[in-house]
Amino acid sequence: MNLVKANSASISRAAEIIKNGGLVAFPTETVYGLGADGLNSIAVAKIFEAKKRPAFNPLILHIADKSWLKKFSDIKNEKIDRLIEKFWPGPLTLVLPKTEIVPDIVTSGNTTVAVRMPNHSVALQLIKECGTPIAAPSANKFGHLSPTEASHVAKYLGDKVDMILDGGKCSVGVESTIIQLHENEIYLLRPGGLSKEDIEKEIGEIKTGVINPDKPNAPGQLPFHYSPQTPLKFFNKKFLDEKKKIGMLFFKENKIDFPFAGTKFLSLSGDLREAATNLFSMLHELEKENFDLILVEPIEEKGLGRAIMDRLKKATNKYNV
């Protein structure tokens, strides 16, 4: 496995790998991405293979400069321009009508493409040196927890990537918010690191819900996702069983009198931003303990709480069937 600290020399090597059609896992402010040259279909196919990801699930193109967007979408829209001005680089992905040069494998044959400019110096330097957009999903196996540290990538995909660039822990910790422009309206496809409230402050109310119910195309619209290997459920007293080793993920304090085998707190000060940053890393740590069950306290679906609850609902759904 080729796990290296990100610096200018290793970033240049990583750019060479991508330009030659290889795979590099790299840090962004949200989660680690599994990147390939977004204009090279064969390279992009390796992402699906490595992740065991279904081919109907399209990828995000990551760009290094706002001016690159027009190569991949020629849409003109005032609200979209405002959002780019205000929130790029940052945890906001835009789904827009695509231009010819975007390969079908990136968009899974859709006429739209997802684009984002990440707010992370390593990612931006890497993309700039490649001179091509980097197609990248989160660097986890399909359906598993998302990686917020290089070691998470190494554990699940270490033998599948040509290089992992270690840029430390991701500062946001949940994936980008995805919105789509559709018939002049803006829809929220996936809550994420930028809150719906912050978007609405800029451009007014946006829509939620499925645009085309026959064709789920964002993970928020698939029934389950992001799950740890250990069963995970929302806290309910009926699950407490002293014979079982139970790990508990609290929001900020422990109000339950029970001998948990392990406890973690998303944010002792009750800060949603800190809670989002810790979400996946704490689930990774709890997963490592091999408990019989992990319970999690639900939190209020406001601001970043919406993205956190979205991930937790998808993760617990796997164990409700």
Task: Confirm if 63 and 115 have CB atoms less than 8 A apart.
Answer: yes
Interface with ligand TXA, residue 27, by CB under 6 A:
no
Per CB under 6 A, 130 contacts ligand TXA: no
Residues 143 to 162: which contact ligand TXA by CB under 6 A?
Answer: none
Which of 218, 249, 272, 296 binds ligand TXA (CB under 6 A)? It is 218
Give the span between the Cα atoms of 202 and 46, in whole angstroms.
Answer: 38
Residue written as tokens 């929302």? 234
Nearest distance from residue 39's CB to Mg ion, in Å?
21
Q: Name the segment binding ligand TXA (CB under 6 A); options: 78-86, 104-112, 230-238, 310-318.
A: 104-112
From Mg ion, ligand TXA, none, interface partner of 143 (C-beta below 5 to 8 A by class): none
Nearest alpha-carbon partner for 116 in 73, 71, 80, 63:
63
Whole-number Å distance between alpha carbons of 275 and 271: 6
Q: Using the rule CB under 6 A, is 167 a contact of ligand TXA? A: no
Which amino acid appears at position 34 of this protein? L
CB atoms closer than 10 angstroms to residue 260: 17
Q: What is the CA radius of gyration of the chain?
A: 19
Draw the binding track, 54-93, toward ligand TXA (x: CB under 6 A; -: no contact). Answer: ---xxxx--------------------------------x
Q: Tell me which residues touch Mg ion (CB under 5 A).
A: 138
Q: Which residue has the tokens 């996936």?
A: 190
Q: Which of 2, 41, 77, 110 binds ligand TXA (CB under 6 A)?
A: 110
Per rule CB under 6 A, is residue 125 in the interface with ligand TXA? no
Q: Give the Cα separation of 190 and 178 in Å (integer).
A: 5
Toward Mg ion, which CB reaches closer, 105 or 293? 105
Nearest Cα neighbor of 147 from 221, 61, 50 is: 50
Interface residue list for ligand TXA (CB under 6 A): 28, 30-31, 33, 57-60, 93, 95, 107, 110, 112-114, 116, 118, 136-138, 175-176, 178, 189, 217-219
